[in-house]
Amino acid sequence: YETLFNNMPIAYMKHQLIYNAKGELEDYRVQDINPMFKKYFVQGDVFIGKKGSEIPSSSYKEYLVLYKRMLAEKKSLTIEYYHKRTQRYYEVLFMISAEKDMMDIFCVDITDLRKTKSMLEAVNDKLSMALDVASITPWRWDLESHTVMCDVNRPIELKHCGASEVSLSVPEDQYFSKIHREDRDRVRIAYTALIAGKVNKIREEYRVLDRSDHHYSYEWVEAQAAIDQRDADGKPLSLV
């Protein structure tokens, strides 16, 4: 236990809960911390043995709120914490210890993960803006569920289809029903050739039905498609 405690790459702290004469939780005492916790958070005097209320700049009141909630719900809690001094982000797990009146706190450094996530979000935002400016809508056709799904901005083919605002998904038959009947067979033949492996990608222009202020009209759309996923036998599972 001691070897694991001293060498695990996760910051750890143990709190002993302190109750008043009425049995109400009023404070806690820092029972123990491991070397990684000292490395991440502790400067100057080590505060083992001190009450939360005795530690300068501690968040002991916030801890008490969390602990009362955990004890009432008999659940663990996970929060994200930003350490301003080191400019690092941590995922903090609070758990009711197997030991009586004890709380276990584990801290994992997620700074690199969070930076990567933020970078991906920024890239996705820029991509979304570029696609919007260019009037391009990414879509995915699930050949197993026979549904067409769009990720960004509802395309004209999915207008008035009753698709979910979240998923932007409609059955493929409903999708094709919006295509002008003079173009429909040609478009189906093109997709069939792609699925059958006769071509690597397709590019088709066709008319789709649009409705605006009770007025119906056909708008020209250009669609490009390629195989997205295949199963172990090479059978296409989806198009994009």
| Confidence bin at 5 (pLDDT 50/70/90) | low
Q: What is the pLDDT of residue 217?
A: 81
The three-state secondary structure class of 173 is helix
Question: Tokens at residue 228, please?
Answer: 């997205």
Q: How far lies 202's CA from each of 24, 87, 100, 137, 209, in Å?
A: 70, 49, 67, 16, 21
Query: Which residue shows structure tokens 């119906």?
Result: 216
Tokens 């172990």 correspond to 232
Encode pLDDT of 217-228 as tens digits. Answer: 888 888 889 999
Q: What are the structure tokens assigned to 6, written together? A: 């001293």
Q: What mean pLDDT, rounded, does the chain reach?
A: 84
Stated as kind and residue range, the H or E segment containing 179 is: none
Inter-residue contact 77 to 69 (CB < 8 Å): yes
Q: How far apart are alpha carbons 18 and 3 in whole angstroms?
A: 29
Q: What is the pLDDT at residue 46?
A: 72
Please check the confidence at residue 145 and state whether its pLDDT lies above 80: yes
Query: Is 0.75 surpassed by the pTM of this model?
Result: no
pLDDT the model gives residue 164: 46
Percentage of the chain modeled with pLDDT above 70? 83
Could you tell me the pLDDT band of residue 59, with boundaries at 50, 70 and 90? confident
Indicate whether 178 pLDDT > 70: yes
Q: What are the beta bridge partners of residue 239? A: 141, 227
Mean pLDDT over 148-173 rounds to 59
92 in Cβ contact with 62 (< 8 Å): no
Most confident of 95-109, 115-129, 143-157, 210-224: 95-109
Residue 22's pLDDT is what? 93
- Residue 106, Ramachandran bin (φ over 0: left; ψ between -120 and 50: alpha; else beta): beta
Give the closest residue to 38 by CA, choosing from 77, 63, 76, 11: 11
pLDDT digit string (tens) for 63-95? 899 999 999 999 999 999 988 888 899 999 999
Three-class DSSP category at 126: helix
Question: How confident is the model over 25-34, as a mean pLDDT?
Answer: 92
Per-residue pLDDT reduced to its tens digit, 113-125:
888 888 887 777 7
- Mean pLDDT calculated for residue range 8-27: 92
